[in-house]
Structure 1
């Protein structure tokens, strides 16, 4: 007779206690992340994998006291007898649309009904990354803030995890210049000078080849006492900037995540919701401390729903952590709330049907990435048509309008797509970056008069040259209309030109794209809105909006291939993208197969990313 049988037969209370303890352990389980068959998932309190489908800003909206009939907005009290009635109905509505998570800034009245996430706003409250992170009091300040905000919920099993912040200003050159100009008493500035002294081995002349300082600074001893530092165009100072930014980020994540784990060891740390861009050094630092890297994500030029896969690849590759999409969205000019969608910052399409299509395509795109663990829609209700109080934002982002009426076309389609996403994600076993044997470049169904404009707005219908390894600096697409080959780059890039001693050169400090298609070679250097193209008569289109950029080259097939070409002839294809600031390089090599006029095949497309040279 075994020990368990003995206990069961002779000592009933011991068995009951043992069972009760096992139940208590099960009841104390919390959300985790895990990888199954090379696919990342959240795991719930029963250890079941799930893909997080969330909604941000699930709140009752305006109160009776603040509501203005002349400036209408979403207000739950106009439609429900009580806040609890609103919470119950809203949770039921979201579950009916197959959402399974409440995203950031959702009201506590509804978080008891569904798994939820919480934004702590720890760094922004302290001024990160512009404050003195290396000051002795920073760690104590963060520990106290964390204790006040997380300790009471350490046993909340509905809480998936904590976002430390939202959209911190991780802009590398700007951060470097700002901290370099601080007083000598600043701990962060002292760390910056220590990095410079170590990198240049206290050789001030070598330092000045990459940076410019005030004329009275003649040595590192002078620099220790104060003085601004700016990048010198054409120098290699960006690598030192990256080292500094990495140490600042490591300090932030180390202090904040350490405090969270002290006061709440049970819940996941979900990152700080990047603004669709983040310097490599920051992502690498985050990967050492967080459980999940999170990012808000939009592509305002992608009216077909396109999003650049290179950005998500790079987040995952640099952090070695799963990625959560914390905001995705689309607005339409056709909406019932009267949202004007002003500012040009976000994707705006014409109709609700187009908005629905964008939402579906982006959901499917996210689920197809094996390292993405969820996607959260922004937001539950349309923004006030007259603009949000704190920033004036006035977009048609809602699942419901300001009068609580669902956009049925959107919610029905999203509900159907949600129901299929777990199966889609489970099959996403091939990471982005795996080579494919043959890729076909499809024709546009109706070639437009202005090919370049149409190309940049219809990337989903084109062939993405799959990278052979992760971490590409941009997406590269190829398309053809039978007479012309179109090649498009799409990605993120930030320089902060105002923090150089003089205007930086696109050739030296921007992105340089070299493209060889058969006999044709084109080189374009890009820095913000400044572009230099060789040869000057190349058909080239470029756009830049904030940190996002796109560029398209149109090459007549007659220029790339011999005049006597035949169907099935092949054209060599090579592309290189080089970041002049940090030396990173991505390359693509393929063969374009001249097929009948309805397509061009890309054979053996590969891509590699070369790390910056020491």
Structure 2
């Protein structure tokens, strides 16, 4: 049986890699080569990567991630249509690309994640579909996704996400699951999704939905997720101010206490005005301040013993998202990437020095009973 990523709880929670060594997942999300196929940068993609996604993954994405101290490729689906998500707060029509395939991701030689979009209930989705997960069709759909996407023998696979920022509360469009039946619906949803995954892959971690701090998640849902998932995945964009980062971390700590699960910050970031998006305000003033925000966020999460990693939002800036680690012409925002490089190296060194040396076979762990402490 293939050795896979697991979990370990000591003085802090850790992921463990297939060799059994402690692992902190520091990744990037929304890395998609389609951001280099616009009219303004298609020639760069042709010149640097020969119009080859494989070359871009190997010589661009993977090489740069390693150089800047990242060790994981997170969710790769990218924001490609509409402007509501980042500027107006309104739902976005369609919204996201298909992302990179599992075969392409595995070939990069870095840990990566797979998303199974079992339901179209995202907070950003302009046309959500709140289908009843208690119906047989939902379980059939989950099984289709699982038997198509699961990779039980891939040691590079970190685990499986489900839905991005699901609206378990009322959706911005005014639709949603029936509040009086929410607990029953949530049980059916997670049972069908996770049983499908375990049917086709009994080993890899289930990272669950990526809960958004702005969208929220009801206590009824938080109380049942420990039965089904291994990690509590969250999304938060607190900006660069220390007090806002601390407030976000405090909310997430409450979710951890309630569930007893380790937490992966699966999507976080900040932005500032750029040449392409000069009116993209409300977070940082410039790339240097973005770098400061990255350092503050990473330090706050690394200091939280429940945190097993963080994935930063945006790779190449496109006209829709309006921010990234690299500009629209595939050049890094060096004030940001240098802060990332030094911060990542320092945090990994400090945490490694604090932790006992480990290696060899990983040991399975049992989850603790969920706490009744209120967030």
Please give the range of the TM-score, normalised by the shorter of the 2 chains.
0.7 to 0.9
- Contact conserved, 1:274 with 1:294, CA < 8 A, in 2? yes
1:138 shift after superposition: 2.4
- Residue matched to 2:307: 372
The 5 A counterparts of 1:373-388 are 373-384=308-319, 387=320
The correspondence for 2:276, drawn from 319, 328, 338, is: 338
1:340 shift after superposition: 3.6
The correspondence for 1:80, drawn from 44, 49, 56, is: 49
SS at match of 2:163: coil
Task: Give the unaligned 5+ runs of structure 2.
Answer: 77-98, 356-370
Shift in alpha-carbon separation, 1:56–1:178, aligned structure 2, 3 A: closer
- Contact conserved, 2:69 with 2:341, CA < 8 A, in 1? yes
- Contact conserved, 1:118 with 1:161, CA < 8 A, in 2? yes
The correspondence for 1:418, drawn from 336, 340, 344, is: 344
Task: Give the unaligned 5+ runs of structure 1.
Answer: 1-24, 181-240, 388-393, 430-468, 474-614
The correspondence for 2:297, drawn from 349, 355, 362, is: 362
SS at match of 1:374: strand
1:255 shift after superposition: 1.0
Distance 1:149 1:248 in 2: 24
Distance 2:181 2:354 in 1: 36
Distance 2:19 2:250 in 1: 34
* 2:75 is equivalent to residue 104 of structure 1: yes
* 2:290 is equivalent to residue 321 of structure 1: no
Shift in alpha-carbon separation, 1:378–1:179, aligned structure 2, 3 A: closer
Shift in alpha-carbon separation, 1:88–1:135, aligned structure 2, 3 A: closer
- Residue matched to 1:183: none
Shift in alpha-carbon separation, 1:305–1:424, aligned structure 2, 3 A: farther
1:73 shift after superposition: 7.8
- Contact conserved, 2:210 with 2:235, CA < 8 A, in 1? yes
- Residue matched to 2:322: 395
- Residue matched to 1:159: 157
What TM-score comes out, normalization by structure 1 length?
Answer: 0.49
- Residue matched to 1:205: none
1:176 shift after superposition: 11
SS at match of 2:233: strand
- Contact conserved, 2:240 with 2:270, CA < 8 A, in 1? no
The correspondence for 1:244, drawn from 181, 184, 204, is: 181
Distance 1:338 1:304 in 2: 29
What TM-score comes out, normalization by structure 2 length?
Answer: 0.78
- Contact conserved, 2:168 with 2:176, CA < 8 A, in 1? no
- Contact conserved, 2:116 with 2:163, CA < 8 A, in 1? yes
C-alpha distance after superposition, 1:257-276 (max 9, x if no partner): 01100111121110111122
Distance 1:402 1:368 in 2: 33
The 5 A counterparts of 1:17-36 are 28-36=2-10
Distance 1:395 1:78 in 2: 24
- Residue matched to 1:310: 250
* Larger Cα-atom Rg: 1
Distance 1:175 1:247 in 2: 23
Aligned residues: 326
Distance 1:132 1:293 in 2: 23
SS at match of 2:15: strand
Shift in alpha-carbon separation, 1:401–1:41, aligned structure 2, 3 A: same
The 5 A counterparts of 1:127-206 are 130-150=130-150, 153-171=151-169
Shift in alpha-carbon separation, 1:74–1:249, aligned structure 2, 3 A: farther
Shift in alpha-carbon separation, 1:134–1:110, aligned structure 2, 3 A: closer
Higher RCO (CA 8 Å, separation ≥ 6 residues): 2
- Contact conserved, 1:316 with 1:323, CA < 8 A, in 2? yes
- Contact conserved, 2:239 with 2:269, CA < 8 A, in 1? no
SS at match of 1:122: coil
SS at match of 2:34: coil
Distance 2:304 2:132 in 1: 37
